Amino acid sequence: MRDENALEQAKKLVAAAKKISALTGAGISVDSGIPDFRSEGGIWERFDPYEYGTYDSFLNDPSKFWTMGRELAKVMLKAKPNPAHIALAELEQTGKLLGVITQNIDNLHQAAGNTNVVELHGSYLRAHCMECKTDYVGEEVHQRVADGEIPPRCEKCGGVLKSEAVLFGEPMPEGPMARAVDICNDTDLMLVIGTSLSVYPAAFLPQLAKNSGAKVILINLEGANRDDVADVILMGKASDVVPRLFGSSE
Ligand code: NAD
């Protein structure tokens, strides 16, 4: 449903649920200052993610990715969780949250206090060597990039370092997807927050939860590609709507 009673309907679903899950996308972090791919005037207008953020492009010329990465790090490393992230962390404290499945790479759910976060698309806060696989701390690599080392290289073998953010066309890590599927099979209410549901296979997860009998609440600034999967649609800013879901009846 999508009317003035939608918030009350959604709150009833939340109150009745015992095993809540969340699937989040770039929209939940827009109010923390990180633009989604649709925002105007942000970093993505200067660096088309479908050009600078593909795996092929990285393999051909890692400098190109890291040139974008230098600008992205400026935005991402100073971002703080907003009330939507914090509301999900508080929900975990009640014991009703199975986990947060996120497409984001910004670490803001963990920064808010969530401990069961499934990162489908990796994290900007980790990096590794493409050759010897040595792990690196993302912030340290981003500092080297900010200081002009593009592309950053492994201190052990000289190989190119890659951020652990999953690029377009790059195989997704299998473990997180398997954990996400488990959550979808177990949850009785999924909150789908700030995602256009256009990147697969993440976009299929609400349908998977629905097929397992869960209710689905979709929270988005505008319509998403899979509105049909939602039992209730709440239009608005995540930082405004998500905390209201768990507040007392209005
Ligand atoms: P998307 O950019 O395709 O869609 C974002 C959705 O959020 C849109 O439907 C938009 O209307 C909505 N939105 C924008 N501001 C909102 C707000 N304040 N409150 C609620 N909704 C809002 O993002 P996606 O679906 O996550 O898919 C794009 C891919 O790019 C994903 O892998 C995503 O994680 C990645 N990405 C990540 C970040 C990040 O880590 N913060 C930022 C940009 C892109």
Q: How many domains does the chain have?
A: 2
Residue 3: the pLDDT is 58
Q: Is 161's C-beta closer than 6 angstroms to any atom of ligand 1?
A: no
Residue 23: the pLDDT is 98
136 pairs with which residues across the strands?
127
Domain CATH for 15: 3.40.50.1220
What is the pLDDT tens value at each position of the chain, 250 positions in all? 455 699 999 999 999 999 999 999 999 999 999 998 877 767 788 888 888 899 999 999 999 999 999 998 889 889 999 999 999 999 999 999 999 999 999 999 999 999 999 999 999 999 999 999 999 999 999 999 999 999 999 999 999 999 999 999 999 888 999 999 999 999 999 999 999 998 888 999 999 999 999 999 999 998 767 788 999 999 999 999 999 999 754 4
Q: Are residues 112 and 129 in the same domain?
A: no
Q: Are residues 12 and 110 in the same domain?
A: yes
> What is the reported pTM?
0.94
How many whole angstroms from 148 Cα to the centroid of ligand 1?
A: 29
The domain boundary residue, chosen from 163, 193, 215: 163
Active site residue 109: no
How many whole angstroms from 131 Cα to the centroid of ligand 1?
A: 32
Residue 4: the pLDDT is 60
How many whole angstroms from 74 Cα to the centroid of ligand 1?
A: 18
* Cβ atoms 162, 120 nearer than 8 A: no
Domain of residue 183, residue span: 1-33+81-123+171-250
Q: Which ligand 1 atom is at minimum distance from the Cα of 105?
A: 40
Mutation probe of ligand 1 site: the residue of 28, 34, 37 with most atoms within 8 A of C-beta? 37
Give nearest CA residue, ligand 1 atom 38: 26
* Cβ atoms 184, 215 nearer than 8 A: no
Q: Which of 85, 109, 121, 142 is catalytic?
A: 121
Q: Are residues 221 and 130 in the same domain?
A: no
Q: Are residues 132 and 247 in the same domain?
A: no
Q: Is 229's C-beta closer than 6 angstroms to any atom of ligand 1?
A: no
How many whole angstroms from 28 Cα to the centroid of ligand 1?
A: 7
The domain boundary residue, chosen from 163, 192, 220: 163
Q: Are residues 184 and 247 in the same domain?
A: yes
Q: Are residues 204 and 93 in the same domain?
A: yes
Burial grade of 106 (CB within 10 A; 0-12, 13-18, 19 or more): buried
Q: Is 32's C-beta closer than 6 angstroms to any atom of ligand 1?
A: no
Q: Are residues 157 and 217 in the same domain?
A: no
Q: Are residues 86 and 71 in the same domain?
A: no
Query: Alpha-carbon distance 224 to 195, whole Å?
Result: 7
Q: Are residues 181 and 203 in the same domain?
A: yes
Q: Is 77's C-beta closer than 6 angstroms to any atom of ligand 1?
A: no
Q: Are residues 100 and 66 in the same domain?
A: no
Q: Are residues 207 and 92 in the same domain?
A: yes
Phi-psi region of 177 (alpha: psi -120 to 50; beta: other; left: phi over 0): alpha
Query: Alpha-carbon distance 236 to 250, whole Å?
Result: 17
Q: Are residues 96 and 66 in the same domain?
A: no
Query: Alpha-carbon distance 30 to 172, whole Å?
Result: 24
